[in-house]
Structure 1
């Protein structure tokens, strides 16, 4: 082994110590050490940056905590505020009636029923809606975990990324905050305007062309409601997040996410064609 020569400088330093300091200055910083010099973001800052500068939020997730308690809490609270407003301004009975009117096949079937049978169908609709509301936190986390698994497989095996499941789950939770803004907009519209004749939880505000169709069902409705301002915004943010935590170009992250968006839209259109 070749030893470094021990050279003494006039100020008392040795050549070895000087060499070590020089090597430390010249050594390239690794990805793990780059962000540690900067303070991490707070949970509130992460939420704000999700809307204003999503790359900051997701870079912080990549190198630091994957805590998702705050976004999950905000999503649950936002959904309950919206549900309470709909139940107050529209009412569960009217919501059940809207669900029937939005489905031509169900509406046609109801027209041939007696008054008692119609009341039974409406009661079943109300029970189903309330169950969905109460079970929302668990359902949201389960579906979020499932879609995270899809994204994890796509960015890692399809695009050669290096994302961990935990970081992608955090991306999913923070990206889902975009959907809350749509619910809050729908809540505002419920209180400042009269509710429309047909009001559904699935499409509560006119941020897509499908909202303005006469019948809230069918393949065309399913397609047009999917081309929604907030939904596209959410998927772009998710694409940015997937790219950052997987250490991929942003373009690849967005492509990976929109592959699944396309598949979901095709499934919705196919389901609507089969059952409407």
Structure 2
């Protein structure tokens, strides 16, 4: 694959996503999946040493305040958390999580396009769509991570949750999922499906938004049920 063409697709997904997806519709290879995913993985792993101590400290604070655990149980949880913060283990876990998330999203979009929209596209094309949309995560990292590091807290939100107190409720967790970067991904994914399946943007946007809201609801409900 021509490196210049690949670079254009990477850049265009931010400024002119329809151009990226039109190119993928014409010709897609596994490079279109691997390179965007690799970029996100490398950046995530590079930032991990700076973010993980803050995340662990936050989790320990929640456990310390929890009345569900005895002191012995808390010590056991702390010990388990320390083992899980092994750099190699965290790197492997992060990589697997990114790949698994991309695969799940791809399956959802593929189902939406081939069944709900009544279109036909190869799995590889939709996988590449997901990979390029995932690059928007870099913009999210660029905004959130400097704030997380400077403020030493993971409670940094680019969603309506910013205006509410974190009480662990379903409503608060749901508001956190309405992140501006997540909405950006929904819009770009909708554009991608519209281009690839040759359907009206309104129709693809409706389906993608419904799938996303179902995800937001499920994640929020699960989070509130396991609240400490």
2:216 corresponds to which of 265, 268, 274? 265
Residue pairs, 1:3-152, within 5 angstroms: 42-66=5-29, 67-87=32-52, 91=53, 95-102=55-62, 107-110=66-69, 112-114=70-72, 117-128=73-84, 130=86, 131-152=89-110
Q: Root-mean-square deviation (CA), in Å?
A: 2.5
Structure with a larger share of its residues in helix? 2
Q: 1:132: Cα distance to partner?
A: 4.6
Partner Cα separation in structure 2 for residue 218 and residue 125 of structure 1? 24
* Count of paired positions: 222
Partner of 1:174: 132
Partner Cα separation in structure 2 for residue 188 and residue 79 of structure 1? 13
Q: Taking structure 1 as the reference length, what is the TM-score of the superposition?
A: 0.72
Partner Cα separation in structure 1 for residue 163 and residue 90 of structure 2? 25
- For structure 1, which runs of at least 5 residues remain unmatched after alignment? 1-38
SS in 1 for 2:67: helix
Q: 1:261: Cα distance to partner?
A: 0.4
2:202 corresponds to which of 251, 257, 260? 251
Which structure has the bigger radius of gyration? 1
Compared CA separation, residues 140 and 216, structure 1 to 2 (3 A): farther
SS in 2 for 1:84: helix
Compared CA separation, residues 244 and 127, structure 1 to 2 (3 A): farther
Partner Cα separation in structure 2 for residue 124 and residue 68 of structure 1? 35
Partner Cα separation in structure 1 for residue 168 and residue 217 of structure 2? 15
Q: Taking structure 2 as the reference length, what is the TM-score of the superposition?
A: 0.85
Partner of 2:151: 194
Compared CA separation, residues 136 and 73, structure 1 to 2 (3 A): same
